[in-house]
Structure 1
Amino acid sequence: MAKAKNPTDIPADDVDLTLHSKGDLAHLLSTDGHTEPAMRGFAPKFHDIVDYIVKITHEIWEERGIGRLYDYYGTNMRIHTSNGEIYSREKVIEATIQSLAAFPNRRLYADEVIWAGDDEKGYFSSHRLTHEGHNWGHSSYGPPTGRRVSYRAIADCAVVEGVIVEEWLVRDELSLVYQLGFDVHEMARQMAQQETDIGQQFTVPAEPDRLRGQLPPEAAPADSEAFDVGQFVKRAIHEVWNWRLLNKVGDYYIPQFICESASGRRLYGRNQYRNYILSLLSPFPDAAVSVDHFCALRDGPNRYRTATRWTMTGTHTGPGIYGTPTGKQIRIMGISHHLVENGKFIQEWTLFDEFALLKQLYKPT
């Protein structure tokens, strides 16, 4: 990434991860022939968790029913982001108003919803979507630019009886800032200076939890006899990212693999994917990736759509796309959606907030 004008009340882990069979999103707004009873605690107009997620997103953002957040979000809910936490429903309403004021014609297009759960344990959803609109109002970046933007986000939600109790949000803010016409490095530096969150100021330094002292990383669990898609995804991430076994990319990914990643990256094939991994490991040689949550949908005997939320920690001690090493520690949350077929990754959609990462690097010491 050049420095010149730049292009970039149940925890979810307790939700049942049983695989469910769903088609694509074509069924979302179709209610013909629907006879199933409403889910417990949900309004009758919602036919399943996918229908719920897509419809409330449309109602709040595109119909401007901001006050419906009182119906759909818990009073003391939290939204986790790489920039920190938003706590309480009122803060969510405040942020929604500000965002719509900045982009009054904003549209949110549902690209995918991967889910798990039931009425007893609650539901978990991972919603990949595309934001589009024009910057016709003031935003945290400054006065209106009039520019049109299009960027992706993924929101993981824990939902209990029709109420979202916790959310994990990742958006491609670097692409947003760049499309508004700003230098992303200068904007990150300015915003890092302005953000003086006490929790960031007094973060306790620590080594990323990847190695066991001077010993190598823990080995991944042995394969089970039957194919287990959760084990497959977690093993691939651990071996490739934590063990640095880039030769294993050939075992896990098809030759024609396609990946859409943060800041507009689009990768074709295994060699580009290996180079992408190296470009992120070089600046953070001690980087460690931990899987925080996983769920999957089965589309057929050998085909799955998966959602994996993860955290990467590391220390900026190496050269690379983020410039001269700063020695700063970083921690970013990411979410990856995969298409897995016949025991291989076919396609990947990954997001992490690269702008939040830059702000951590530019944070005053």
Structure 2
Amino acid sequence: MTLSPQAYAPFETVEQYILDWTELIWAAGGIGAIPGMYHDDIVVRGAAGVATGVAGVVRGSLAKKASFIDRVGVGEDVIWEPRGDSSFVSHHRVLHSGGQSEVCSYGPALGETAVSRNLPVCLVVDGLVTEEWVVRDEWAVVAGLGHDPAAVAAAAPVDLSPLGAGGLFGRPAPVNPVVCGDSGPRPEAHTEEAEFLVALWRDVIQARRFDRVANFYSRDAIVHTSRNRTVTRLEGVRADLLGFLAPFPDATVEVRDIAVHASPSRGLRASVLWRMKGTYSGLPLYGPVTGSPVEIMGVSQYDLEAGRVRQEYRIFDEVAVLAQIEAARQR
């Protein structure tokens, strides 16, 4: 599958398209340039709901930039694949740092700083983003800036039930994401790596076979995850996955989209857009259990080495999880 330069014009590479647009909009403050990157009818799927239209993107970006003037984002990696002759999917990991400059939905600026990661997944067709799945480590931001995540969630409860069975994704899960995911058909390349990732989510996470972690992660694996936490080695990976699933013991997981990319400078990397659905009926990590449904949209990126995961970045929004639980409590 060969990608036409028209897909990322006027830039020379896909990486430049993603990184330079991000620099213009967020570092330089070019909010008005957003309609040149996003389709008029862009669909944005976030942890707390779904929005349509570029006007909403401009409005939200303006408010965020005004509230976080000094927060700087650094593009850590862009993992992408073609999705036809003139389209591609980009899984873009960004490391943010800095403080809060003005009042925002969390509350007033308290003079603190925060470090967190965002991971937007963008489907780009003929140079315009037509659909975006946005994942943020919002807990790290809220807590780092000195606010209480539980209070923030209580002030903005989230009810996803009006979205129906498709939830945040708006459609059934892909039958075989190795062949075709939410962003469209994959190229006939890196099939082995894509199948490896599907097996990881199926055999370890969905099946709760934590004894199989060593089949997928290297002995000295490093995992960066929500709340800007880092765990290491196989023992740390097992403990982290147990904590990830324990609040939702009946949870099911879906691999929604896969991108694999190899480069001489960065090696072999892969990214998975995933969905987890379950009820808050297990470990009371978020306060007293409610038995209410929770949907989590997340992205995991992997540095692959010698047939194992050497490093993982698993990003999801725990404030949005709290907000769903809070909505059930308020009902």
TM-score higher than 0.5 = yes
Aligned position for 1:308: 272
**In the TM superposition, what are the counterparts of 1:35-50 in structure 2 within 5 Å?**
39-40=5-6, 42-44=8-10, 46-50=11-15
**CA deviation after TM superposition for structure 1 residue 342, in Å:** 1.5
Where structure 2 has 5 or more consecutive residues not aligned to the other structure, the ranges are 168-177, 179-189
**In the TM superposition, what are the counterparts of 1:215-364 in structure 2 within 5 Å?**
228-299=192-263, 304-363=268-327, 364=330
Aligned position for 1:149: 114
Amino acid at match of 1:306: A
Amino acid at match of 1:244: R
- Of the candidates 65, 74, 90, which is equivalent to residue 109 of structure 1? 74
**CA deviation after TM superposition for structure 1 residue 203, in Å:** 5.6
Question: Aligned partners of 2:111, 2:89: CA distance in 1, in Å?
Answer: 37
Paired positions, count: 308
Amino acid at match of 2:209: L
Normalization by structure 2: what TM-score? Answer: 0.86
Query: Kindly tell me: are residues 320 and 272 of structure 1, through their superposed partners in 2, closer, same or farther at Cα, counting changes over 3 Å?
Result: farther
**In the TM superposition, what are the counterparts of 1:96-245 in structure 2 within 5 Å?**
96-117=61-82, 120-192=85-157, 200=161, 228-245=192-209
Question: Aligned partners of 2:79, 2:7: CA distance in 1, in Å?
Answer: 21
**CA deviation after TM superposition for structure 1 residue 139, in Å:** 0.7
**CA deviation after TM superposition for structure 1 residue 132, in Å:** 2.2
Task: Please identify the structure whose Cα radius of gyration is greater.
Answer: 1
- Of the candidates 25, 40, 55, which is equivalent to residue 60 of structure 1? 25
Query: After the TM superposition, which of the residue ranges 327-336 and 178-187 deviates more from structure 2?
Result: 178-187
- Post-superposition Cα deviations, 1:94-119, rounded to whole Å, max 9, x if no partner, equal 00100011011231110000001166
**CA deviation after TM superposition for structure 1 residue 121, in Å:** 4.3
**CA deviation after TM superposition for structure 1 residue 144, in Å:** 2.4
Question: Aligned partners of 2:317, 2:230: CA distance in 1, in Å?
Answer: 16
- Post-superposition Cα deviations, 1:288-329, rounded to whole Å, max 9, x if no partner, equal 1100000101247xx520010000011111124223211111
Query: Cα RMSD between the aligned structures?
Result: 2.6
**CA deviation after TM superposition for structure 1 residue 276, in Å:** 1.3
Kept in 2: contact 1:159–1:165 (CA 8 A): yes
Kept in 2: contact 1:42–1:161 (CA 8 A): yes
Aligned residue for 1:360, secondary structure, equals: helix
Kept in 2: contact 1:253–1:345 (CA 8 A): yes
Question: Aligned partners of 1:158, 1:204: CA distance in 2, in Å?
Answer: 23
Aligned residue for 1:305, secondary structure, equals: strand
Amino acid at match of 1:282: A
Kept in 2: contact 1:109–1:129 (CA 8 A): yes
Kept in 2: contact 1:279–1:320 (CA 8 A): no
